[in-house]
Amino acid sequence: MAIADASVWAEGTRVDGAVPFDRVLETAAERGGFAWVDLVDPDEPELLAVTAELELHRLVIEDVLQRGQRPKLEPYDGVSYCVLHRLEQLGERLVAHEVHAIVAPRCVVTISWDRREGLADVRERLGSGRDGLEVSPATVLYALLDETADQHAALADAMRERIAEIEESFFGEGDPGTVDVYRALRRVVAIERAAEPVSGIVERFAARLAREPEREADELRRHLRDVDDHAQQTAARLEAAQRLLTSLLQLASARVAERQNDEMRALTALQVEQNEQTKKVTSWAAILFAPTLIAGIYGMNFRTLPELHWGLGYPFALLLMVLLAGGLYLAFRRRGWL
């Protein structure tokens, strides 16, 4: 069976020695404590065997068998069922690990996937006693919530530093790094998707504890308020980061549009200049065409050309060339082509 750890906790500490899974509840009852079973990558038969051994509610069993759930906390006949998304940095990728926690008065079952060590960090924390709380099933859920919230906060802080670098380079020389902005925005959204529900889960958990008169519950609620503060601060930072990145993308789009407009204006100016040059070339070609036409006609070797034997024929031809060319020049000049 995919059991990362099966332990019994009594009088605030973990009972020494390995406890077989089929005797974990019995041993917890004998010691006056609670049992904690941590499962990793269990298949459906293994989950059914564990839930049957612990005599859990049918709806809890249905939820446990269904992965891909949103973070939540739901009560089932005295049992709290919690789903959290813990994040892990693997190189450049951010991987979400879904964790299910079933908290009953005398037992805790935690289920995680793709994490060989399971919830070893939470067990180590409770074993060290650094929280100063009496270890109980509710304390296990508190420690899991706090570790998850701290993890989200650390990732949010790392993203703030990364966004500051992007912002600094974004307003520097060169083109805006929109790819880096898109990547950062996707990461922020992924962290926010896992971190945003934590505050609501903590509030629901604290509300359930408020109905318990024990002094330990009061102390645990004070710790939960601290977790709630951290979760809300993380959510606020992620929301602000998302707004900033969205603004950077909008600014990048505006800068690209402005650059395109500048290029279009430059292209338009070039086309206008080319049109002016074309007009000038066309005008001079037309001006030079008239004398060329006259000279070409009178350069033909025919005997019956008009004024061919006239004494003033040559000056007349030159004068006609000048008059036609001058007339065309004045016409084009009046139209602004020259």
Burial class from Cβ neighbours inside 10 Å (0-12, 13-18, 19+) for residue 102 reads: buried
Q: How confident is the model at residue 229 (pLDDT cuts 50, 70, 90)?
A: very high
Burial string for 37-60 (b: 16+ CB within 10 Å, else e) reads: bbbbebeeeebeebbeebebbeeb
pLDDT at 176: 57
The residue out of 130, 149, 184 marking a domain boundary is 130
Q: What is the pLDDT of residues 277-286, one digit of tens each?
A: 888 888 888 7
Tokens matching residue 49: 């065997």
**Domain limits for position 290:** 268-334
Note whether residue 198 is domain-resident.
no
**Domains of the chain: total:** 2
Q: Residue 327 belongs to a domain with what CATH number?
A: 1.20.58.340
Note whether residue 315 is domain-resident.
yes
Note whether residue 261 is domain-resident.
no
Q: Is 83 helix (H, G, I), strand (E, B) or coil?
A: strand
pTM of the model: 0.74
DSSP letters spanning 262-308 = HHHHHHHHHHHHHHHHHHHHHHHHHHHHHHHHHHHHHTS--TT-TTT
The residue out of 70, 98, 130 marking a domain boundary is 130
The residue out of 61, 96, 130 marking a domain boundary is 130
Q: How confident is the model at residue 225 (pLDDT cuts 50, 70, 90)?
A: very high
pLDDT at 213: 63
Q: What is the pLDDT of residues 29-59, one digit of tens each?
A: 888 889 888 888 888 887 887 777 777 777 7
Note whether residue 253 is domain-resident.
no
Note whether residue 280 is domain-resident.
yes
pLDDT at 85: 92
Q: What is the rounded distance in angstroms from the CA atom of residue 238 to the CA atom of residue 244? A: 10
Give the rounded percent of residues in the chain with a pLDDT score beyond 70. 92
Note whether residue 109 is domain-resident.
yes
Q: Taking the alpha carbons of 278, 279, 280, 282 in that order, is the dihedral positive or negative?
A: positive
